[in-house]
Amino acid sequence: MKKGFLLLEDGTVYQGRALGSHTVKGGEIVFHTGMTGYQEVLTDPSYCGQIVMMTYPHIGSYGVCPEDVESRKPFLKGFVMGDYTEHYSNFRATRSLVSYLEEYGIPAIDQIDTREITRKIREQGAMRALISTDEENVHELQKKLADTPVMTGRNLVDEVTCQAAYTWSQDILGADVATDDRPHVVVIDCGVKYNILRNLVGQGFQVTVVPASTSSHEIMALQPDGILVSNGPGDPEVVGTTIGTLKEIIGKLPVMGICLGHQLLSLALGAKTYKLKFGHHGANHPVKNLLTGKIEITSMNHGFAVDASSLQDIDTKFGAVELTHMHLSDETLEGFRIKDVNLLAIQYHPEASPGPHDSHYLFQEFAACIESCIKTS
């Protein structure tokens, strides 16, 4: 058994079993409470720059299934597990989790008390951490940890966004469909999860994905019927280019923002964002739909949030901001809309993957906005 180390910013050092790639990597450590879905988590670009720890101990049990990836590769810095299982079992799986991590150069560690670390993060808040599956000199590692950048103020969108625009035509079942004559949605890729794209195709759209730096002019040139600004990693405040683009787009077309997209829309409208103590990362978060009173169980992954009062205070030229979704446990803002200009913003992940499908209806709402706009024009 090769030794692996996990160092936390507060000085604690955990020794476990080294897995995955032999390397040393630092990042912000967050925990994810989903009991299934490790593969979707790994490939969610929003975890770029982070070390993700799963709270459920047995990870790797169903291997890696080729259809379950959410982006072109995993962007996270490291992966922490309680009890990794090399012997996987699932009819779709084609390889083990660790072989997959190795391919992408990601270090992992297991056989450590993930619950203790979870409690630490809960109490002390998100912190920097370092995984080493190579170097064993703790003193050296501590120096490296000190050099790891903090999350606040980091623009990671550039690392994950696509290099060039592309079209997407796979639906929710993974089938390729002809989308040529459909209404057109342009997705601003801040680190988009494939399941957002699949849902859009599922709603009957033609989908084009563009890099986050694409200007509003270039976007409008694609003649979209709607814009979706995607999820993604890092601090929203520093994603200036995209915020600028959005400022020019809001009001012209139906816009939907998801996760980072929700935050970027808020910023574009003039609201404020802030960093949560340890964020929401899991697939069991209850959200109250303030319009219907109903509860959705949602998939979440956000370390930053929008200050609801700052949003309500804004006198937008587009009409009133309506708060639509609220976290049932801590009352964090989870969604808003500006009905008059067909703007929908959702902090969590209606595309799920991993997680429950309770919020798929939001894509329908977005589709309805676009449809009504097309009709009126």
Write out the catalytic residue numbers: 259, 349, 351
3-state SS of the chain is CCEEEEEECCCCEEEEEEEECCCEEEEEEEEECCCCCHHHHHCCHHHCCEEEEECCCEECCCCECHHHCCCCCCCCCEEECCEECCCCCCCCCCECHHHHHHHCCCEEEECCCHHHHHHHHHHHCCEEEEEECCCCCHHHHHHHHHHCCCCCCCCCHHHHCCCCCEEECECCCCCECCCCCCCEEEEEECCCCHHHHHHHHHCCCEEEEEECCCCHHHHHHCCCCEEEECCCCCCHHHCHHHHHHHHHHECCECEEEECHHHHHHHHHHCCCEEEEEEEEEEEEEEEEECCCCCEEEEEEEEEEEECHHHHHHCCCCCCCCEEEEEECCCCCEEEEEEHHHCEEEECCECCCCCCCCCCCHHHHHHHHHHHHHHHHC
By CB under 8 A, name the one of 22, 23, 36, 158 that touches another protein: 36
Between the alpha carbon of residue 259 and those of residues 61, 236, 348, 366, the distances in Å are: 29, 10, 5, 15
Binding of another protein by 199 (CB under 8 A): no
Binding of another protein by 35 (CB under 8 A): yes
Identify which range of 37-45, 196-204, 310-318, 369-377 contacts another protein by CB under 8 A. 37-45
Binding of another protein by 136 (CB under 8 A): no
Cα–Cα distance between 226 and 195 in angstroms, integer? 18
Give the nearest distance from C-beta 229 to another protein in angstroms: 25
By CB under 8 A, name the one of 2, 72, 115, 252 that touches another protein: 115
Identify which range of 49-57, 151-159, 199-207, 220-228 contacts another protein by CB under 8 A. 49-57
- Residues in the interface with another protein (CB under 8 A) total 55
Binding of another protein by 50 (CB under 8 A): no
x/- string (CB under 8 A) for another protein, residues 302-341?
A: --------------------------xxx-----------
Give the nearest distance from C-beta 124 to another protein in angstroms: 13
Cα–Cα distance between 59 and 221 in angstroms, integer? 45
Give the nearest distance from C-beta 331 to another protein in angstroms: 11
Identify which range of 55-63, 138-146, 198-206, 250-258 contacts another protein by CB under 8 A. 55-63
Identify which range of 56-64, 132-140, 207-215, 223-231 contacts another protein by CB under 8 A. 56-64
Binding of another protein by 114 (CB under 8 A): yes
By CB under 8 A, name the one of 217, 293, 315, 376 that touches another protein: 293
By CB under 8 A, name the one of 13, 57, 134, 368 that touches another protein: 57
Q: For residue 325, what are its two tokens?
A: 């979704």
Asked if 227 contacts 254 with a C-beta cutoff of 8 angstroms, the reply is: yes
For residues 64-103, which are near another protein according to CB under 8 A? 65, 67-68, 82-83, 85, 87-93
Binding of another protein by 282 (CB under 8 A): yes
Binding of another protein by 58 (CB under 8 A): yes
Binding of another protein by 11 (CB under 8 A): no
By CB under 8 A, name the one of 346, 354, 359, 363 that touches another protein: 354
Residues that bind another protein in the complex, under the rule CB under 8 A: 31, 33-37, 39-40, 55-58, 61-62, 65, 67-68, 82-83, 85, 87-93, 111-116, 118-119, 122, 282-286, 288, 293-295, 297, 328-330, 352-357
